[in-house]
Amino acid sequence: MNSVNLPRKVKIVEVGPRDGLQNEKEIVPLHIKVDLVNRLSKAGFQNIEAAAFVSPKWTPQMADSESVMSQINRTNATVYSALTPNLMGYERALASKVDEVVIFSAASEAFAMKNINCSIEQSIERFKPIAEAAKKDKLRLRGSISCAFGCPYQGQVSAEDTTTVVKYLLDLGCDEIDICDTIGVATAGQVQQTFEAIFKFASPELFSGHFHDTYGQSLANVFAALQTGVSIFHSSIAGLGGCPYAKGATGNVATEDLVYLINGLGIETGLDLIELVSIGEFISKAIGKQNGSRVGRAITAKNNQS
Ligand code: HMG
Ligand code: MG
């Protein structure tokens, strides 16, 4: 089945190595991070968010990002991305030969202050030299908007709050923009309303949906976004993650669950579900956590029975 209104293909950006692992309290050994990225590369992801060149005082788990980037086996088919909050982060990312840098702000002032220690407008000023440098150095530039549907500190966030930041990021020349439900509170109607507001002035191909599953709405939100024309989604293997600056937020939608939904709609991902399930099992065991993917748990249980 594939409704005429849905895209024929989607791009899945695997954010487990960054958004997923950043929230782990115990430092995950470097060789496990490298092994995870290598397995994901082999699985055929077009885009893997592998590192974050943020301040190690703010997010200690990401302090070994240079080592991760230098030790992974890259494939030409994969774009390797990293977060760059400021020029210092950009220089680190450039030296590590990332393919894409990710500047990140928020649709909520309160969250911008907690996460990157500045206002939304200050963050945009901070990103201007990064955007210029990325163009000069021929790196892809992605912009992420946190708390696009709700904020742990401020509460409600309107579609207008989000479209304002979308316009700033478009002006900076972003090649792709992520509309992020950082704390997983969005519902399907709100997702449609926000994307429809954006698509009044911008093209759907530029936008991704980044959903966390705190309230169990992430797959419904993916389906709602698909119906508005979104064809890029972020997810993390085994549903890893959360945000250190958003207490109680759970992981991203699990990649395995996302692919199961997308497969059922007859939409291409270029990924093999069974291979993803085995990677989800690997990382869950490696960090001593229950696998956060419902599909991963179900398929593993079935395989163990037979
Ligand atoms: P600040 O403290 O205001 O920065 O942090 P500063 O310029 O005053 O520098 C303070 C110290 O940090 C200095 O060191 C700098 O050298 C160092 P000191 O002199 O004290 O020894 N420093 C750096 N070191 C390495 N790399 C850098 C860097 N920058 C400064 N790039 C800053 C401001 C933006 C740096 C900080 O707030 C930060 O790193 N924030 C990022 C926090 C984070 O990692 N959050 C999680 C990722 S975002 C997320 O998860 C949401 C997302 O998934 C989407 C969604 O779901 O919403 C993307
Ligand atoms: Mg996130």
CATH number, domain with residue 164 = 3.20.20.70
Residue 186 in domain: yes
Q: Of all atoms in ligand 1, which is nearest to the CA of residue 104?
A: 58
Ligand nearest to the CA of 101: 1
97: left (phi over 0), alpha (psi -120 to 50) or beta: left
Rounded CA separation 57/55 (Å): 5
Mutate to test the pocket of ligand 1, among 13, 54, 55 (most ligand atoms within 8 A of CB): 55
User: Is 150 within a domain?
Assistant: yes
**Residue 171 CB coordination number (10 Å):** 11
In this structure, the strands spanning 176-181 and 155-156 are unpaired
pLDDT tens digits for the chain (306 residues)? 455 589 999 999 999 999 999 999 999 999 999 999 999 999 999 999 999 999 999 999 999 999 999 999 999 999 999 999 999 999 999 999 999 999 999 999 999 999 999 999 999 999 999 999 999 999 999 999 999 999 999 999 999 999 999 999 999 999 999 999 999 999 999 999 999 999 999 999 999 999 999 999 999 999 999 999 999 999 999 999 867 777 778 899 999 999 999 999 999 999 999 999 999 999 999 999 999 999 999 999 999 987
Give the Å distance between the CA of 302 and the centre of ligand 2: 30
Number of C-beta neighbours around residue 236 at 10 A: 30
Is 180 part of the annotated catalytic residue set?
Answer: no
Residue 1: predicted pLDDT: 47
pTM over 0.95: yes
Residue 2 lies in a domain: no
Q: 139 lies in a domain?
A: yes
Q: For residue 127, is it within any domain? A: yes
Domains contained in the chain, number: 1
Q: What does the alpha-carbon distance between residue 77 and residue 260 come to, in Å, rounded to a whole number? A: 23
| Secondary structure of residue 22 in the 3-state scheme | helix
**Residue 153 lies in domain:** 7-305
Tokens of 29: 């050994």
